[in-house]
Amino acid sequence: MQKILVQGGKPLHGDVRISGAKNAVLPILCAGLLADDVLRVSNVPRLHDVKTTLRLLGELGAGIAIDDAFNIRIDPRTVHSHVAPYELVKTMRASVLVLGPLLARYGAAEVSLPGGCAIGSRPIDQHIKGMQALGADISVDHGFIKASAKRLRGARVVFDMVSVGATENVLMAATLAEGRTVLENAAMEPEIIDLAVCLRAMGANIEGDGTGRIVVEGVERLHGAEHSVVPDRIETGTFLVAAAMTGGRITATHARPETLDAVIDKLKEAGAVIDCTDDSITLDMGGRRPHAVNLSTAPHPGFPTDMQAQFMAMNCIADGVGVMIETIFENRFMHVQELLRLGADIRVEGHTAIVRGVDKLSGAPVMATDLRASASLILAGLVADGETVIDRIYHLDRGYENIEAKLSALGAGIRRID
Ligand code: EPZ
């Protein structure tokens, strides 16, 4: 079992190149199933979840080719199965994103129910509601969603709550449905826009992506295309917080500042000086201690839930008290127990964590519980006295490409150990 060892106390300096967004590339790879021809995807991050998705597409029969630069070629012309097996879906919930494409392109799909995960039960009722609205017959038994439809018909779908995955699944299905589909209360995350950009390149007729109302005019077929994945705003935010916590100065290159407004505002509130160009963000903390910040997670363009754990690490050593409210997932404070082991002062009351900044954290062995929790433990280790050893870092490899290589290039004392 691999672990990561962090030696605290070194401010970060230098440039870090941001990779393609995990939460954009996963639905985009699944969108390859919709086409009659080859989809080429570039700027793909080398992540475990990407490899899992490619395995799933391969299981369905699609031809998968990966070149030395990790550009992906998906050839859907050999797809022969419409079943997403449990052993793959249980390791990655995003596997459910093959449901819409298989249903729309082949009229049939069987996808194992994903089950919960560490941060919450994460039901998929909104995905099912959307497919039924488009005319699919759906049954759920023996742990499988079984869906079929001669041809999906456009409809108005009003989501009960904002769901990134459900918006993506129904958006993909609607591209080949007959007639017009309107998605109301749709997610507005930048990853939805990136998926829509790719689908339009394939011939889809989509308007309103990035707003709460997306309108899709169904087309007969989608052709192949080439798409470069949008930079990962959560990876970007994670490195910016690392620089803010260590009092350093870094530049995130190949980034997209306009996808991070809420995060940049909060970092400025914490005392960081931030300058942006079209594709880079420079954060300068000038050796200062961050001020504590209050935040409440919300769907985009609000403060992203995927940055909550990282900001909690910053509040642990900030000047003052930060009140943090998690409104998206019911159990996304798993990192609190581990941060307490490092000497943090955090009190949790329901969906609210009250974090009183301490002068110093002290390094200790800790355990990662989910993807972003593992990132927050690394950030805490960067400022803790002595050594912090993080276990169960397979969580980390799902969402961060070579994070320890990127951090050590910025001056962090960090390495992977067996
Ligand atoms: C996506 O998950 C992201 N994952 C998550 O990132 C991210 O935290 C989340 O969106 C919110 O931004 C990918 O894109 C692969 P949701 P998703 O559907 O689509 C409830 C990371 O760290 N809900 O927007 O699964 C759900 O339980 C990961 O990169 C239903 O009740 O999230 C949650 O409380 C973690 N029924 C809320 O909605 C449904 O049918 C938002 O979930 C669907 C969702």
pTM of the complete model beyond 0.85: yes
DSSP for 311-379, written as a single string = HHHHHHTSBSEEEEE--S-TT--HHHHHHHHTT-EEEEETTEEEEE--S--B--EEE--SHHHHHHHHH
Mean of per-residue pLDDT scores for the chain: 96
Contact between residue 162 and residue 134 where contact means Cβ atoms under 8 Å apart? no
Is the C-beta atom of 125 inside 6 A of ligand 1?
yes
CA distance 305 to 116: 17
CA distance 353 to 348: 4
Mean pLDDT throughout 387-402? 94
- 265 Cβ contact partners less than 8 Å away, ≥ 6 residues apart: none
Q: Tell me the two tokens of residue 363.
A: 């390094």
Report CA-CA distances (Å) from 187 to 8, 161, 168, 192, 302: 38, 9, 8, 7, 11
- The helix/strand/coil state of 100 is helix
Q: Which atom of ligand 1 is nearest to the CA of 121?
A: 27
Rg value, the chain, Cα:
21
Contact between residue 165 and residue 124 where contact means Cβ atoms under 8 Å apart? yes
108 residue type, one letter: A
Residue 318: pLDDT over 80? yes
103-123 confidence digits (pLDDT tens): 999 999 999 988 767 788 778
Q: What is the structure's pLDDT at 114?
A: 81
281-315 confidence digits (pLDDT tens): 999 999 999 999 999 999 999 999 999 999 999 99
Q: Tell me the two tokens of residue 209.
A: 């992506």
123-171 confidence digits (pLDDT tens): 899 999 999 999 999 998 888 999 999 999 999 999 999 999 999 999 9
Is the C-beta atom of 50 inside 6 A of ligand 1?
no
Q: What is the structure's pLDDT at 396?
A: 93
191-243 confidence digits (pLDDT tens): 999 999 999 999 999 999 999 999 999 999 999 999 999 999 999 999 999 99
82 residue type, one letter: H
Q: Which percentage of the chain shows pLDDT scores above 90?
A: 93
Please calculate the CA angle 68-69-73 and round it to the nearest 5 degrees: 85
Is the C-beta atom of 306 inside 6 A of ligand 1?
yes
Side-by-side strand order, sheet with 387-391: 365-367, 387-391, 3-7, 413-417
- Taking CA atoms only, the protein residue closest to ligand 1 atom 38 is 163
Q: What is the structure's pLDDT at 116?
A: 67
- 122 C-alpha to ligand 1 centroid (Å): 7
- Taking CA atoms only, the protein residue closest to ligand 1 atom 16 is 163
Is the C-beta atom of 23 inside 6 A of ligand 1?
yes
- 14 C-alpha to ligand 1 centroid (Å): 33
